């Protein structure tokens, strides 16, 4: 009898039952009684033994495969590029919090303009289409959407942070700055935007970029344009007028955010400004500073080392 | 930016290896939400290999998995303000990765081919390659076969297998990631293992049983 232990097994414990509990058996999750029955069945049934061995083999193959996957390497560079690109592709008007009020306001404005044509300054001309530029308030709104500059932008990446630069001369400046900090070897340049920027989306992108710890170079005229809400051409016409200090201008277009600039950051800005003006007279500002809305005790974000 | 913190994050997750404490992750998330981007950098370094392994297991292409890993972290970066600490950060991250991988696999199901035999996807152990080249070759062949078989399994099964074997998650963690009960996760994993075994037999044919005998 002892040579044929399977003869004692209850008839219910067949191959089907064993195989239905196979993985629990392999994982050691059966209770002692079931475990003993399974062991007995396994000793008697060659087919189930093979099934169990095969299942074990699959388990070990899966486990060893997971150990053998090569690391993908440092994926951060591509991540930060994608992040910047995503932000550029999702302008502020796609955000419902801004987009819906903007659409409602525009609709209301058009409605008012059509009901009260006198506001357009054209007297009683009810059939004249009221275009936005006829309305004083809308005129300023249109002005605020004037293109800042359709010139090429580049993201230049040393390691971190990223620099958004507005021209090749800026790129040269950042490269020099970067190489002076021994950050060669991982230079990557990406053409970001040839499309025209408007002030609103530009502000948003600047905000996002700063939140991403990016540094942005702007021309003095662009800074003034943003700060005063004037078009670039108007700013250019008034070039004789003395420009405010770039940093003050930068603070003025982030009215809801208090600007905290540490000494290091201030030094970095000053140094960058000096570097930039050596390359191009147009360059006026760098936005790499850390912006804080609330907590003033937060450590400032990391900035590239000073040259 | 945060090289020191990153230095520990580049190893491929191994079987049995656990990541970090939930508190640590939550602290990093909180720091990031306060404006410290270096905290996100640390999270990225810590989890990029885990996310990559999930995506590679589901997709089967290294290049696509790299690309999707970056996409996942972009999504995480943008969604972190919505993170409510209701679950572990890692579980939340894995869920995003699994969903992204499944979406990508579904969208490219009709035209995607399996390039796994063309890519050196698996790392060789230098010591083994000198002393036992044949066994290393066999091991590499087997791991490549595993990846191929995984791609033959259904997405449902693949998810469960990847989370169990590539991520070494417990049943409870798998359930949390897949948003189901532990019992449902157990059933799914059981079926997945059975499906994998069937595909394994189909792949090796009669050799599978010989291999199994030797393996035992």
Measured distance CA(A289)–CA(A298) in Å, rounded: 14
pLDDT tens for residues A63-113? 888 777 878 888 888 888 888 777 665 555 555 555 566 667 667 666 665
Contacts of A90-93 with CB under 8 Å at 24 or more apart are A91/A201, A91/A204, A91/A205, A92/A200, A92/A201, A92/A203, A92/A204, A93/A200, A93/A201
Interface test with B, best of A20, A28, A46, A70 (most B CBs within 10 A): A70
Q: Tens digit of pLDDT for each residue in A268-304?
A: 444 444 443 332 222 233 333 323 322 223 333 333 3
User: Could you write out the DSSP letters of every residue in A182-251?
Assistant: T-TT--EEEE---SPP-HHHHHHHHHHHHHTT-EEEEEHHHHHHHHHT--HHHHHHTTTSPPPPHHHHHH
pLDDT digits 0-9 by tens, B25-53:
888 898 888 888 888 988 999 999 999 99
Instruction: List the 116-145 stretch of B: residues with Cβ below 8 A of A.
Output: 120-123, 139-140, 142-143, 145
Residue A171 has pLDDT above 90, yes or no: no
Pick the residue from chain A with its C-alpha nearest to B200.
A58
Q: What is the pLDDT of residue B139?
A: 66
Nearest to A66 among B15, B200, B209 (CB): B15
Specify the pLDDT at position A16: 84
CB contact under 8 A, A54 and B212: yes
Query: Is the pTM above the cut of 0.80?
Result: no
- Give mean pLDDT, residues A16-41: 88
3-state helix, strand, coil in chain A (%, to 5): 55, 10, 35
B-interface mutation test, from A71, A157, A207, A210, most B Cβ less than 10 A away: A71
pLDDT tens string B77-110: 988 888 877 788 899 999 999 999 998 888 765 4
pLDDT for res B82 = 82
B196 to A58: CB separation less than 8 angstroms, yes or no: yes
């Amino acid at each position: 009898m002892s040579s044929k232990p399977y003869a004692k097994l209850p008839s219910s414990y067949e191959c089907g039952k064993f195989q239905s509990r196979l993985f629990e058996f392999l994982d050691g999750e059966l209770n002692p009684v079931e475990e003993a029955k399974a062991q007995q069945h396994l000793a008697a049934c060659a087919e189930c033994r093979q099934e169990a061995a095969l299942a074990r083999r699959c388990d070990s193959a899966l486990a060893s495969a997971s150990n053998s996957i090569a690391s993908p390497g440092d994926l951060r560079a591509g991540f930060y590029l994608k992040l910047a690109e995503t932000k550029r592709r999702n302008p502020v008007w796609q955000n419902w919090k801004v987009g819906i009020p903007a659409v409602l306001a525009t609709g209301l404005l058009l409605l008012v303009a059509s009901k009260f044509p006198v506001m357009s300054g054209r007297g009683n001309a009810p059939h004249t289409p009221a275009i936005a530029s006829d309305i004083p308030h809308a005129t300023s709104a249109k002005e605020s959407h004037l293109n800042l500059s359709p010139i090429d932008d580049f993201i230049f990446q040393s390691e971190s942070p990223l620099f958004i630069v507005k021209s090749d001369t800026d790129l040269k400046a950042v490269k020099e700055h970067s190489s002076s900090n021994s950050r060669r070897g991982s230079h990557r340049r990406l053409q970001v935007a040839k499309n025209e920027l408007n002030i609103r989306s530009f502000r948003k992108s600047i905000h996002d970029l700063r939140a991403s710890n990016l540094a942005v170079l702007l021309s003095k005229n662009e800074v003034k344009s943003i700060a005063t809400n004037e078009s670039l051409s108007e700013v250019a016409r008034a070039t004789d007028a003395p420009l405010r200090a770039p940093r003050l201008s930068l603070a003025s277009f982030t009215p809801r955010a208090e600007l905290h600039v540490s000494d290091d950051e201030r030094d970095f800005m000053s140094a960058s400004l000096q570097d930039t003006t050596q390359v191009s007279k147009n360059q006026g500002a760098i936005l790499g500073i850390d912006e804080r809305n609330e907590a003033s005790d937060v450590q400032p974000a990391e900035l590239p080392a000073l040259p | 930016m945060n090289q020191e913190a990153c230095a520990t994050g580049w190893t491929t997750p191994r079987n049995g290896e656990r990541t970090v404490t939930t508190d640590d992750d939550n602290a990093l998330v909180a720091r990031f939400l306060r404006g410290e981007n270096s905290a996100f950098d640390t999270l990225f370094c810590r989890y990029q290999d885990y996310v990559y392994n999930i995506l590679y297991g589901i997709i089967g292409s290294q290049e696509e998995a790299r690309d999707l890993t970056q996409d996942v972290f972009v999504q995480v970066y943008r969604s972190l303000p919505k993170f409510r600490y209701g679950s572990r950060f890692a579980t939340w991250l894995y869920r995003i990765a699994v969903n992204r991988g499944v979406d990508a696999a579904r969208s490219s199901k009709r035209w995607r081919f399996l390039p796994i035999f063309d890519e050196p996807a698996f790392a060789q152990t230098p010591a083994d390659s000198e002393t036992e080249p044949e066994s290393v070759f066999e091991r590499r062949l087997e791991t490549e076969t595993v990846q191929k078989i995984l791609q033959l399994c259904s997405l449902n099964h693949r998810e469960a297998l990847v989370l169990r074997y590539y991520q070494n998650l417990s049943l409870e963690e798998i359930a949390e990631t897949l948003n189901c009960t532990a019992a449902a996760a157990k059933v799914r994993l059981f079926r997945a293992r059975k499906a994998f075994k069937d595909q394994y037999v189909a792949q090796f044919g009669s050799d599978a049983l010989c291999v199994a005998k030797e393996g035992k």
